[in-house]
């Protein structure tokens, strides 16, 4: 597949090295992780040692100091593994949770946590979503009140990736009960084992089986005032700032998955015999796959254009929202057709295409539902 114009030799080298790691260290083992419902910490530590967990972070903390285009490459290659749970376990850590620390942490917080985050010695999660507050962040009910030198956090969070096995949680809580809407929200750093903090339950999902997902409970969870991330009542800006990054990598992951689905379908229809020939000989099938390949190429170009705009510091809310909406819907369209062309075999558990179909479904929901993204685009037309 033609590479985006934003790629140079260094981007291709980064991609090829990562692809080798995924093909040799992830794909052969990931079925076991699916059954266990988690990615082993040793694998995440390997990624950290190789430098993939600190792609965008400063060199002084152990990061690679690269830009958004590299984050998109990382996400695309992880998606191409065909194990969406593995991909999102890594991407939540690298591009959805830890950026809250990197962007708004104090010098003391950065020195204490970021080197361990980059090495994979501390795995992160971001706890914003609640049962009644997903894309509508303003609806969160978890609250924190000052108690001497500490804050007491009360409430619960839902659908938190890395919630079961994480070490460091970035938690959104209302600190000004009188503030309207999204105002009055603050972010807190909560470590595993903090008194009053617990995992309510591990959630069983349709797809992304090897990513752990949890409900989190905060019952007078005592966090020192020094554990506030950024300024009091300014947490909404942290959340909104990182939505851009989150949506780019989710779009890139979706396009990696779509490419893998097409590869599997092309291989299958080239061998499967029916009605006196292979399925590829059927005009309707090869034209459908050709059109899907064109759409996936367009989706990839859109992803990398948005990533490049972000790397240049340009306003790209419209383009990023387009990425999330288009790629989230497209990956589902691709998987539906590719499974169809696999026939009954595509419906069997244990096949890559069946897993890809299940994993794709969340892409139009998580990280900003398609309908919400389209509203963001419509505001800017």
Cα(119)–Cα(133) distance, integer angstroms = 32
Tell me if the pTM is above 0.75.
Answer: yes
Is 371 a residue of the active site? no
Strand partners for 127: 171
CB 258 within 8 A of CB 334: yes
Helix residue ranges per DSSP H, 274-346: 283-311, 317-342
One of 76, 130, 246, 319 is an active-site residue; which one? Answer: 246
Instruction: Look at 109-113, 129-133, 329-333 and tell me which has the smallest mean pLDDT.
Output: 129-133
Overall residue count recorded for the chain in this entry: 381
- pLDDT tens digits for range 200-235: 999 999 999 999 999 999 999 999 999 999 999 999
CB 235 within 8 A of CB 172: yes
Domains with residue ranges and CATH for the chain: 9-123 (1.10.540.10), 125-231 (2.40.110.10), 237-379 (1.20.140.10)
DSSP 215-242: EEEEEEEEEEGGGEESSTT-HHHHHHHH
- pLDDT tens digits for range 311-334: 999 999 999 999 999 999 999 999
Query: Is 77 a residue whose pLDDT tops 80?
Result: yes
Q: What is the pLDDT of residue 182?
A: 76
């Amino acid at each position: 597949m033609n590479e985006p114009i934003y790629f140079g030799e260094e981007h291709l080298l980064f991609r090829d090295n990562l692809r080798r790691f995924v093909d040799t260290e992830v794909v052969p083992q990931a079925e076991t992780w699916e059954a266990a419902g988690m990615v082993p910490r040793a694998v995440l530590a390997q990624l950290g040692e190789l430098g993939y967990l600190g792609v965008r972070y400063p060199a002084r903390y152990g990061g690679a100091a690269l830009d958004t285009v590299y984050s998109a490459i990382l996400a695309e290659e992880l998606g191409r593994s065909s194990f969406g749970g593995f991909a999102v376990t890594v991407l939540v850590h690298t591009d959805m949770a830890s950026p809250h620390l990197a962007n708004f942490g104090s010098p003391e917080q950065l020195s204490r946590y970021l080197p361990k985050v980059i090495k994979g010695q501390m795995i992160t999660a971001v706890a914003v979503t609640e049962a009644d507050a997903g894309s509508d962040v303003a609806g969160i009910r978890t609250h924190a009140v000052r108690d001497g030198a500490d804050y007491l956090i009360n409430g619960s969070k839902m659908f938190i990736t890395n919630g079961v096995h994480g070490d460091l949680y970035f938690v959104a809580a209302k600190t000004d009960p009188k503030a309207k809407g999204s105002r009055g929200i603050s972010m807190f750093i909560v470590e595993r084992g903090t008194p009053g903090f617990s995992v309510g339950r591990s959630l069983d999902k349709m797809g992304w089986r090897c990513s752990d997902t949890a409900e989190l409970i905060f019952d007078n969870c005592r966090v020192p005032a020094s554990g506030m991330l950024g300024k009091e009542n300014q947490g909404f800006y942290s959340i909104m700032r990182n939505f851009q990054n989150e949506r780019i990598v989710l779009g890139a992951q979706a396009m990696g998955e779509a490419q893998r689905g097409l590869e599997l379908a092309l291989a299958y229809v080239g061998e499967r015999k029916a009605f006196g020939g292979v399925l590829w000989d059927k005009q309707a099938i090869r034209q459908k796959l050709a059109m899907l390949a064109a759409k996936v190429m367009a989706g990839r170009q859109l992803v990398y254009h948005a990533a490049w705009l972000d790397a240049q510091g340009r306003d790209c809310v419209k383009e990023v929202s387009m990425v999330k909406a288009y790629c989230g819907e497209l990956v589902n369209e691709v998987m539906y057709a590719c499974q169809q062309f696999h026939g009954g075999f595509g419906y069997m558990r244990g096949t890559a295409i069946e897993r890809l179909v299940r994993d794709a479904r969340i892409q139009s929901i998580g990280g900003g539902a398609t309908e919400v993204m389209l509203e963001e685009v419509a505001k800017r037309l």
